[in-house]
Amino acid sequence: MQRIDLATAASRLHEMSAVRILAHQHPDGDTLGSAYALARALQSIGKHTCVDCVDPLPHDFTFCAKGYTPDYMDGTESIVTVDVADAKLLGRSYYEKYGGIVDLNIDHHSTNTGFARETYLEEDSAATAELVADLIDLLCVVWTTDIAACIYAGISTDTGCFRYAGTTSRSHRYAARMMEFGVQTEPLDRMFFETKTRSFAALERLALEGFRFFCKGQVCLMVVTQEMYRKSGSNEDEFIRLVPQTRQIEGVLVGIAIRERSDGSWKISLRTHLPIDASAICAKLGGGGHAVAAGCESFKPLEETIADIVRYTGEALQAAGLPV
């Protein structure tokens, strides 16, 4: 991996004239906030930009794109990815199209595979949006409330509203600064963390009924099937918000959320409390992520999938000296 520092990343962006900014599949607030903040900022200093993602923009993040018009000139573009740990996370078709030609990747995942020609990586940052904020400063962009709202969205969502272990004093300082640029944080955080659709509430009820516990109550597991999406009217985008709930039960150190994909395979999301390393557990099934939030997939039947992930989780608890 060719790692570059902040100043070099800023000068690379400065040299680009038309930029396609790619977000990861199943886009979250950090990849989208980072992408739209960067797109708006680069446009304001005369670059042509577009934001692109294999999946559509989730409803909660449509504000990121409001008032932004892509204006790239096809064929002469540079490719920049944000918050993408692995080219495969661009989604299959985008992986094939862009995976090998990314000029610059801006990211904060310690599991970053170094797929881009150059990578600006800060593993200690709570969100990629923090890195984008630094780049915006170095590019001498005039901050607008719209840009600041995108940055705030990235930081607030990736830190679980400044509650997760990765939250730093810097995260709060960035947030304070974004407020000074005019961001109204309360409606954003209400939308991200409080307001539920009725379909989500129905899915939540079904998922909570099925909670299973392992390893002396230190592991809580939920399963969401395609059938449950049909019954509730909910979907995969909404499911993401269920994931942290597995870790909210007293005594639970590892929350496991397993969802059935439309092809019948399973996507596993882990949320842990330190010292249990979620990315190390997921790596055993070919996945990765952060210390307290990671994911992997399984193509085995459900019960075998559960047995695998619970076994690896049990081993991790044991290695940490906990009784299982």
Q: Which residues of the shown chain bind Mn ion in the complex (CB under 5 A)?
A: 30, 83, 128, 158
DSSP letter, residue 262: T
Minimum Å distance from CB 22 to Mn ion? Answer: 14
Minimum Å distance from CB 32 to Mn ion? Answer: 10
Q: Which residue's CB is nearer to Mn ion, number 85 or number 223?
A: 85
Q: Which residue's CB is nearer to Mn ion, number 130 or number 204?
A: 130
Token readout for 123 is: 């593993």
Minimum Å distance from CB 130 to Mn ion? Answer: 9
Name the packing angle between helices 145-158 and 29-44 (round to 10°): 160
Name the packing angle between helices 145-158 and 169-180 (round to 10°): 150
Minimum Å distance from CB 229 to Mn ion? Answer: 25
Q: Which residue's CB is nearer to Mn ion, number 52 or number 83?
A: 83
Distance between CA atoms of residues 261 and 224, nearest Å: 9
Minimum Å distance from CB 292 to Mn ion? Answer: 12
Q: Which residue's CB is nearer to Mn ion, number 89 or number 215?
A: 89
Q: Which residue's CB is nearer to Mn ion, number 26 or number 48?
A: 26
Distance between CA atoms of residues 159 and 165, nearest Å: 8
Residue type, 28: D
Nearest partner of 22 among 117, 87, 76, judged by Cα: 87
- Positive or negative torsion for Cα 276, 115, 57, 267: negative
| CB contact at 8 A, 128 and 34 | yes
Closest CB to Mn ion belongs to which residue?
30
Distance between CA atoms of residues 179 and 193, nearest Å: 18
Nearest partner of 150 among 119, 188, 118, 123, judged by Cα: 188
Q: Which residue's CB is nearer to Mn ion, number 30 or number 134?
A: 30
Minimum Å distance from CB 75 to Mn ion? Answer: 30
